[in-house]
Amino acid sequence: MFSKWVAFWGNAISISDRQISTYAKDLTLRYPLYVPFDGNKVRLHFSNFTGTENVKITSCFVMRESEGNFSNPHQVLFNGSESGKIPPTKEIITDDISIDLKRGDTLTVSIYFADYTEMRAGTLVTGPLSKAFFAYGNFAKEKELPQNLSRETNWFYFLNTADIFTEGKNHALICYGDSITAHEWPDWLKLKLEKENVTDISVIRRAVCGTRILRDYECITYQAYGLKGEKRFDYEAQAAGADSIIIQHGINDIIHPVGTEVNKFRPMSDMPASADLINGVKSLYLKIAKERGYKIYSGTLLPIFGWRTYADFREPVKNEYNEWLRTSSEFDACVDFDKALRDKDDMRKFADGFDSGDHLHPSSAGYQKMADTAFEVIYKT
């Protein structure tokens, strides 16, 4: 019945927000992961892709949660050892963990770090299925974290991907992008699949807030905006069982440059033409995705009218780039997020109810509309 490994959960790994404190000690991280497939074993990928020092996982445990009930904790081993070391820029994979899982379960992953640990390799994500917790102390084997020593967080550190040994029909879709994709719509797509009884696909999110196709930042002020496409796509655009990808990326290339007189880290020389973005996608993204045999979906950029750096000269760049995303034969199909969320009378801005209020990121209703739009293109055409 079960015959292959498929990724069922995944995030990007980027550079965490640079704070005064960059190390943690005696810390438990807990990540509840939604399970879309039946399976009988799992394996976990831990990444230190952006780290500069060894990271030692003291211990790790997983538990199956079904309808509020937890299984006993299962010890995770690393080459037979209870602890694992992740070298800088590297990824490690755990030994196989025998555990029976059903579609709709939650796999709770708890990781304990006894020693001082560089908390550099992490990513911020949000959504109805994306929550994490940390606790001071070692509670990796506990079914509940102590309320007075724990907090919820949307930062995910080190845990990069979770695979399940499952049926041969199952496969993974990668959603690649920036903050728009790091926010809610991939989670809503998972829930849409559940609602529509689509049982053979998982959604793997590879997204970093602030990231650009063509450039990244050297300064610690903006390091959390992530690595440019050339440095991240090859690594992120892969997962066990993946055969398709949605690429929705490029808005930050357009809205970030403001001139050194306004922000010394954002010169106007960084401002791309639409041709620069198109060539970047072709050379950095499409080449790799095609080599891997993926079905490739383009995702158009959303409205930006009213955003704090909005200017009239940015609009044609976005529109020209979007038109290429809609019409290029380089893609198998286009998920036209822009058309789905924009105002019919003024295409520069969001339709009523779809703007979060900052005129760049959608509201929760807007993210749900994005998920519905992606579903209609991928599963109804």
Q: What's the pLDDT tens digit per position in 232-261?
A: 999 999 999 999 999 999 999 999 999 999
CB-CB contact of 113 with 60 (8 Å): no
On whether residue 128 sits in a domain, the answer given is: yes
Pair 35, 83 in one domain: yes
On whether residue 3 sits in a domain, the answer given is: no
Domain count, the chain: 2
Pair 236, 362 in one domain: yes
Q: Please say if the pLDDT value at position 380 is more than 80.
A: no
DSSP state of 229: H
Q: Which of the four pLDDT bands, split at 50, 70 and 90, describes residue 19? A: confident
Question: Cα separations (Å) of 302 from 88, 235, 269, 277?
Answer: 36, 26, 23, 15
Pair 250, 290 in one domain: yes
Pair 61, 194 in one domain: no
Pair 142, 201 in one domain: no
Q: What's the token pair of residue 132?
A: 């994490």
* CATH number, domain with residue 218: 3.40.50.1110
pLDDT reported for residue 69: 87
On whether residue 159 sits in a domain, the answer given is: yes
Pair 281, 140 in one domain: no
Pair 216, 237 in one domain: yes
Pair 93, 180 in one domain: no
Instruction: Give me the domain span that covers residue 356.
Output: 170-380
Pair 159, 291 in one domain: no
% of the chain at pLDDT higher than 90: 96
Answer with the one of 163, 183, 202 that is the final residue of a domain: 163
Pair 141, 194 in one domain: no
Answer with the one of 125, 143, 163 that is the final residue of a domain: 163
Question: Cα separations (Å) of 171 from 7, 130, 160, 262, 328?
Answer: 8, 21, 18, 46, 26
pTM: predicted TM-score of the whole model, two decimal places: 0.96
The three-point CA angle 91-45-145 to 5° equals: 120
Closest listed residue to residue 272, CA positions, set 249, 250, 299, 298: 250
Determine the distance from the C-alpha atom of residue 22 to the mean position of all C-alpha atoms in its chain, rounded to a whole number.
Answer: 22
pLDDT reported for residue 20: 87
pLDDT reported for residue 225: 94
Pair 69, 190 in one domain: no
pLDDT reported for residue 148: 96
On whether residue 2 sits in a domain, the answer given is: no
Q: Find the helix packing angle between 364-380 and 185-195, rounded to 10°.
A: 50
Pair 350, 216 in one domain: yes
Give the span between the Cα atoms of 9 and 174, in whole angstroms: 10
